[in-house]
Structure 1
């Protein structure tokens, strides 16, 4: 992204990512809409993590939380548009649940204790946010953030916000599947790839059947 620097995936945790608890509340399969929008810094990185999960059928990078006229990469990078770099995940609830996707988000995909930044990527466009698409998602997300805060597993307070979802604007095509198409790019090597490796290392058991071979 704007600053090619190394952040440490999960650096806010006091415990290994595998010890992040499952959500005590989740959405029943029959009631799960199979779509979620999450923002956790660089969308190249979060997209790369979620593309590893079996049951996830589509991951699209984009912009959430702002208006259509400034929903483009150049404008969003200014930090003045109210958008967050985000991903829209579509998934099969019978194979992976909303709660499990949140667990990956809070344990591996980004550092939820950083406010308006991830590592040296600084600005509100890099904020940690969950954009619920219905009342069930809002309830489960709020309950899980409270559960994790109470567990005391982070070295600082959780900065993740729960924000209203109006429209998700799909990012320009050259951002799609960026990490897989550009494995030698320095930012991908030092920020994105370690997150993917951490997912595979710490969730080989707990989410093993859901990580693509």
Structure 2
């Protein structure tokens, strides 16, 4: 994501030329295997390219209470933007979604993730961002999440939901390190950013178009 620190005109041209074909989204079947609704809050961690866009999508999902950008998936016992951007920590830009299981299930979050938040057929890249830190991943926190995530990937593969193979990693959650404050709520706070307009706003629009029953216009808290 160091690319986005360059002048906005260069960024716009580069982002336009490399924008992901998956930004329009694809409507997917509901998960056959899903979590059991439970009272209280639950959390889920996903990685799918730049965390700005993934965060922005989930902030518009009904039942989501908060979304926070951060880093997960590496062996390094720390994470910050500069180190993760170098691509040698093993971490991926990720988001932690806190949600109400009575309003939205883990499987339904997976459906949104695979459908509009990112393109699960792209290996170590999304849009203009390239590197293992931009890989597609589901980081499960317990046995139930592992079961639901693995079953959904298998379901999508069996249904040939995508023209290319799914490369999304399903891996245990080792830790989640919150990103720096200036990365939080980025889409909401920077709606006129060229990067957001080209790469991320279409994902939110796809959520609204494909899953109107799941979409809410208000933003979930990013803190």
TM-score w.r.t. structure 2 length?
A: 0.87
Residue 52 of structure 1 aligns to a residue whose secondary structure is coil
* Residue 199 (structure 1) aligned to one of 199, 207, 213: 207
> Match of 1:64?
72
Q: CA deviation at 1:2?
A: 2.9
Q: Is 1:10 equivalent to 2:14 in the alignment?
A: no
Q: Is 1:140 equivalent to 2:148 in the alignment?
A: yes
The whole-number CA distance in structure 2 between the counterparts of 1:30 and 1:45 is 28
> Match of 1:183?
191
The whole-number CA distance in structure 1 between the counterparts of 2:30 and 2:2 is 33
The whole-number CA distance in structure 2 between the counterparts of 1:197 and 1:74 is 31
Q: CA deviation at 1:120?
A: 2.3
Deviations for 1:120-153, whole angstroms, at most 9, x for unmatched residues?
2100000000000000000110000011011112
The whole-number CA distance in structure 1 between the counterparts of 2:110 and 2:140 is 11
1:163–1:64 distance in 2 versus 1, CA, 3 Å: same
Matches within 5 A, 1:87-166: 87-166=95-174
Which sections of structure 2, spanning at least 5 residues, go unmatched? 4-10, 218-223
Deviations for 1:45-79, whole angstroms, at most 9, x for unmatched residues?
0000000012100100000012233x000111111
Deviations for 1:88-138, whole angstroms, at most 9, x for unmatched residues?
000000000000000000000000000111122100000000000000000
Q: CA deviation at 1:155?
A: 1.3
The whole-number CA distance in structure 2 between the counterparts of 1:138 and 1:121 is 27
The whole-number CA distance in structure 1 between the counterparts of 2:204 and 2:21 is 9
Pairwise CA RMSD: 1.7
* Residue 211 (structure 1) aligned to one of 181, 191, 215: 215
Which sections of structure 1, spanning at least 5 residues, go unmatched? none
Residue 197 of structure 1 aligns to a residue whose secondary structure is helix
Q: CA deviation at 1:162?
A: 0.8
Residue 187 of structure 1 aligns to a residue whose secondary structure is helix
* Residue 51 (structure 1) aligned to one of 51, 55, 59: 59
TM-score w.r.t. structure 1 length?
A: 0.91
Q: CA deviation at 1:17?
A: 1.9
Aligned length: 204
Residue 162 of structure 2 aligns to a residue whose secondary structure is coil
